[in-house]
Amino acid sequence: MRHLLIAIMVALVAGCSRPGGTSDSSDAAGSGRGESAAAVILNGAGATFPFPLYSKWMDVYNKAHPGVRINYQSIGSGGGIRQITERTVDFGASDAPMTDEELAKASEPILHVPMTLGAVALTYNVPEVKTKLRVTADIIAGIFLGEITRWNDDKIASENQGVKLPASPITVVHRSDGSGTTAIMTEYLSSVVPRWKEKVGAGKSVRFPVGLGAKGNEGVSGQMRTTPGSFGYAELAYAIETGLSYASVRNMSDNYVEPTIDAITAAAASLSAKLPEDMRAFVVNAPGANAYPLSAFSYILVYREQPDKRKGKVLAEFLWWAAHDGQKYGPPLHYAPLPADAVGRVERHLKTMKAEDKVLLGSL
């Protein structure tokens, strides 16, 4: 089921599952756990980046396992980190890994559990251009810095020879809220363009020199859709669902690559051996001929020590299901499944979740 993206917070119902269990109704009926899981409510908040996929997961999961309600508010990665730190939710969600400073503010150790892989698309609304545009990191930085102000600028024209570009002005659109999507984009530019690193830097919230701000991936996509001549960035699923054009980006191998499932997977695979055990890493500017340079993990953030054994077990089991059976729902919604190595690390993380000094998932 394809979900239209909406700029509102939503609450979806979901249910509990045994680790690695199937998502059909026969599993729910045969598990013998319906009574023990009844009336459990989990609240989460955070990234808009994975929201279409999380919505799908919760819809499928609930149909097979009624009785547990999971409320998820799509408020941005910054909000997700803030709320999990303040313990106002049972889980947070972020596309940007928490910094050491952010982790230090938490009362207990927080686990980063990768759930999926996505891509930040460089989107544009130029009705006169029917051909997919090509951009480089230098062009992207130049536009967001206000150095490149018209679509027929020489730098854009040189990468798109044969394309008739209009002389119309470029309207920049960026995120106004604390955003993992912004963190991915600015981390990429900071790693490739020295003047961007010096003038703006990387982070979930940065001061853009020019442009219009909009809240959430849905807000940016909506603003761009109604603004001819605009240029911005959004998670790939939002760009596709709203019908926005998006550019091919030149990668480390000097190849122009579109944000496809294969290109996202190639980026993650090229860096898998270098990923730290805690999985806190950006998958930007990855090596490899076919790697898309603005790829990223999206994380669920949970406390290792859960304050409520019953709720903690339900949460751990849902995340186990999402990392296994749930992965097949990613590609139709333009998210790449986790590589096998990443799934193994997710398993190790989830097996450390405890409550009352007891491991929640048992020995698997």
Strand, helix or coil at 338? coil
* One domain for residues 91 and 81: yes
Kindly tell me the burial class for residue 210, based on how many C-beta atoms sit within 10 Å of its own C-beta (0-12, 13-18, 19 or more).
Answer: middle
* One domain for residues 186 and 315: no
Q: Tell whether 5 is covered by a domain.
A: no
* One domain for residues 129 and 231: yes
- For residue 30, the domain's CATH number is 3.40.190.10
* One domain for residues 282 and 308: no
Paired residues of 173 in beta bridges: 212
- Measure the CA–CA gap between 188 and 175, rounded to whole angstroms: 16
Q: What is the pLDDT of residue 20?
A: 35
Calculate ∠ Cα 248-336-289, nearest 5°.
45
Q: Tell whether 327 is covered by a domain.
A: yes
* One domain for residues 129 and 260: yes
Q: Tell whether 3 is covered by a domain.
A: no
Phi, psi of 120 (to 5 degrees): -90, 120
**pTM of the full predicted structure?**
0.85
Give the number of other Cβ atoms within 10 Å of residue 189's Cβ. Answer: 26
* One domain for residues 75 and 183: no
Q: What is the pLDDT of residue 4?
A: 37
Q: Tell whether 34 is covered by a domain.
A: yes
Q: Tell whether 364 is covered by a domain.
A: no
- Span of 31-35, 80-84, 164-168 with lowest mean pLDDT: 31-35
- Measure the CA–CA gap between 263 and 329, rounded to whole angstroms: 18
Q: Tell whether 231 is covered by a domain.
A: yes
Q: What is the pLDDT of residue 33?
A: 39
* One domain for residues 60 and 106: yes
pLDDT in tens, 47-57: 999 999 999 99
Domain housing 39: 10-117+296-359
Give the number of other Cβ atoms within 10 Å of residue 69's Cβ. Answer: 17
Q: What is the pLDDT of residue 38?
A: 57
| Cα-to-chain-centroid distance, residue 319 | 16
Domain total in the chain: 2
Per-residue DSSP letters for 192-223?
H-HHHHHHT--SSS---SSSEEESHHHHHHHH
* One domain for residues 230 and 354: no
- Measure the CA–CA gap between 71 and 68, rounded to whole angstroms: 10
Q: What is the pLDDT of residue 32?
A: 34
pLDDT interval class at 272 (50, 70, 90): confident
* pLDDT for 29 beyond 70: no
- How is residue 259 written in tokens? 């944000």
Q: Tell whether 280 is covered by a domain.
A: yes
pLDDT in tens, 158-207: 999 999 999 999 999 999 999 999 999 999 999 999 999 999 999 999 99
